[in-house]
Amino acid sequence: MNPPASRPLRGIALKVCSVLIFIIMASLIKAASDRVPPGEAVFFRSFFALPIILGWLAMRGELRTGLRVESMLGHVWRGVAGTMAMGFGFSALAYLPLPEVTALNYAAPILTVIFASMFLGEEVRAFRLGAVALGMAGVMIVLWPRLTILNGEGADEAAALGAMLALTGAVCSALAGVFIRKMVATEKTSAIVFWFTVTSTVLSLTTLPFGWVVPTGPEAGCLVLAGLLGGTAQIFMTQAFREAHASLIAPFDYASMIFALAIGYVFFGEVPTLVMLVGAAVIVTAGCLIIWRERRLGLERNRQRKAMSPQV
């Protein structure tokens, strides 16, 4: 068997496939969002991902050992943050074009840098602070047309609400990322994936009193398929990290903008504005700078460890 991170092209291919599938999943949720509440969408997305994930674990022989946990409380907190991220993100899809929601979601990895410093004590130096500032400037560029009401010019209130929902979802996603950073030291990836899906399924049921609907045939088809695709994309993404280093495949997250633009235009008639594209480009640039810096620091740490190791 090949050692981990030994097949970079395979890892990149798996990562791009996972990104594409996630965008298709989001477009299916968006197609049903006119009538289906976001909590109900989270339930379908999570519940129908479970058989895919369980089948994957069974094929890998990890059905028993892969579900053991060291700290269930950590999984609960990660589940709460991740479920809120999904809920807010799905809500935003009802108000904003798919590419715009995608662009605002890019704020999550940038915010993770801030939260990791605040809650995990990770050192953030000037370069990363500058990249974070650049990323947040890009977020403001994307948000500004939705918030022109602050300038007395008026704005589409529904779109402004959608922008705030998308950004709140990105904040929750960043918090989930911080929990995952802490959990990977003691928990298996398979357990993190499985118990998040279980937690989000259970938590989504708490939105029942706020009004669920009986989906029509097409809506049910979209929601069930979204769940199946979500589970598949999660597996592809997990497998991508087994095949290639995280610093190599992480930038391919931004391929989602290309897919979102294409799907939004073809299926929803969404034409991106120049301001949104400029803001997205700034956010992507900041994210890539952070990834590049992390890769450089990782290489430096590896060289230092090799230099300090005893020579045989």
Kindly tell me if the per-residue pLDDT of 267 is higher than 70.
yes
Q: Kindly tell me if the per-residue pLDDT of 302 is higher than 80.
A: no
**5, pLDDT greater than 60:** no
Q: What is the mean pLDDT of residues 10-27?
A: 94
CA distances from 77 to 85, 126, 183, 187 (A): 12, 30, 11, 14
Q: Helix, strand or coil for residue 269?
A: coil
pLDDT at site 9: 87
Report d(CA 280, CA 107) in Å as an integer.
10
Percent share of the chain, pLDDT over 70: 90
- 103-159 pLDDT tens trace: 999 999 889 888 888 888 877 788 888 988 999 999 999 988 877 555 455 457 888
pLDDT at 113: 85
Does residue 21 have a pLDDT over 80?
Answer: yes
Would you say residue 299 has pLDDT above 80? Answer: no
pLDDT band at 293 (very low <50, low <70, confident <90, very high): confident
Q: Would you state the pLDDT for residue 124?
A: 77
Residues 213-235 have pLDDT tens digits of 999 999 999 999 999 999 999 99
What secondary structure does DSSP assign to 59-122, as a single string? HTT-TTGGG--S-HHHHHHHHHHHHHHHHHHHHHHTTS-HHHHHHHHTHHHHHHHHHHHHHH--
Identify the pLDDT of residue 155.
53
What is the C-alpha separation between 123 and 51, in angstroms, rounded? Answer: 40
Query: What pLDDT was estimated at residue 33?
Result: 95
Return the higher-pLDDT residue of 6 and 257.
257
CA dihedral 298, 304, 310, 312 (to 10 degrees): 70
Rounded to an integer, the average pLDDT of 26-41 is: 97
CA 52 to chain centroid: 19
Q: What's the pLDDT at 296?
A: 75
CB 221 within 8 A of CB 93: no
pLDDT at 290: 83
Cβ 244 vs Cβ 12: under 8 Å: yes
Sorted by sequence, the CB contacts under 8 Å of residue 73 that are 6+ apart come out as none
Q: Output the six-digit token pair for 173.
A: 């996603």
**Domains of the chain by residue range:** 8-302
pLDDT tens for each residue of 180-204: 888 888 888 889 999 999 999 999 9
Q: Evaluate the CA torsion angle 47, 49, 81, 261 in order and state its sign.
A: negative
**Coil, strand or helix: which one is 225?**
helix
Q: Which two tokens stand for residue 59?
A: 């094929």
